[in-house]
Amino acid sequence: MSLLPTPTEHVARARADLRVGLPVVIGGAGAGLIVLAAETLTADRLAALRALPGRAVVAITNWRAETLKARAYDGDLARVTLPGDVEAQWVRALADPALDLAEPMKGPLPSLREGDAALHRLALMLAKSAQLLPAVVALETDRPQALAAEIGAACLTEGMLADDLARHHPLLPVAAARLPMEAAEAGRLHIFRPENGGIEHYAIEIGRPDRDKPVLARLHSACFTGDVLGSLKCDCGPQLRTALAEMGRAGAGVLFYLNQEGRGIGLANKMRAYSLQDQGFDTVEANHRLGFEDDERDFRIGADLLRRMGFGAVRLMTNNPRKVEMMEAEGIAVTERVPLITGTNRHNAHYLSVKRDKSGHML
């Protein structure tokens, strides 16, 4: 076996590099991009990028471009020309809507029309996968591999990156142990880790579910604020506890705790969304102003975990019809959708109405 990193391991390295503020190069023998995440951009690295030949742009998603009134000529993204006299803070303010009130005057923001935006699109997807704001500073280069070697940067070919970002990485079992819980003394916790070294996900098994029958199951997306802190802004904590209690009363079930905080954007970005909600935007609008889609979660993870634990059919505890559709598309039979209705309060009533009206939840 070779000691050289695989394509997936190269991408994992690049993801970590963006998070600490290092550049990543995307491209092969011909055209390429040198990319820095806007969120972790420093003054020194911006100056070093400007010292290279070429024209720098800030690539942002069409959602963020709409907020900033920048033209998204590339459809799902805009390549905003980087002015020569702005500092790193200007770039961060362009990316982060939490700074819109503090730094409102960012325009005019001319966008590029010409050229191919395929590599910029991949760079934004890579930033999202690192749970960073979807905004990058990018400079085109005609010598990507040589440049990457000179500056010690990770170099990803277009095909390598596109394939890895689109692929579902198998989840591998790491550890499991008995865990008596309030919901049921007969409990067991299983830990799974994706083969790309990404964040781990958990399966909480109640009792001894029969693998030959549809299992009472829930796919629960992690919510630190609701599950741990008892936040009143959402219904996540009550849903978690209600689902476990129902499984305990039934004598068997499995809850998959998927670390996809904030509909897949991560806790830091979720807090940015909360700050926008304090300004009057709803959940979906806040995600869009950040540059994200309504929902960035990968529901294939739940189907993978069910199969790995030997289940082929479920009685799915959910109010979200998308989860039912995903399960069936992934070959998991949903014999029943079990509603999971919890109480409302004055802090989450609007949040729940948005889930119903904009996200199609059956409440």
Residues annotated as catalytic are 295, 297
Q: Which two tokens stand for residue 352?
A: 């729940």
Query: How far, in Å, CA of 124 to CA of 133, rounded?
Result: 9
CA–CA distance, 18 with 198 (Å, rounded to integer): 15
In degrees and rounded to multiples of 5, residue 211 shows phi and psi of: -70, -15
Q: Are 140 and 55 in contact (CB under 8 A)?
A: yes
Residues 6+ apart with CB under 8 A from 261: 221, 222, 223, 224, 267, 270
N-to-C CA span, the chain: 52
CA-wise closest residue to 73 among 31, 27, 109: 109
How far, in Å, CA of 192 to CA of 199, rounded?
A: 9
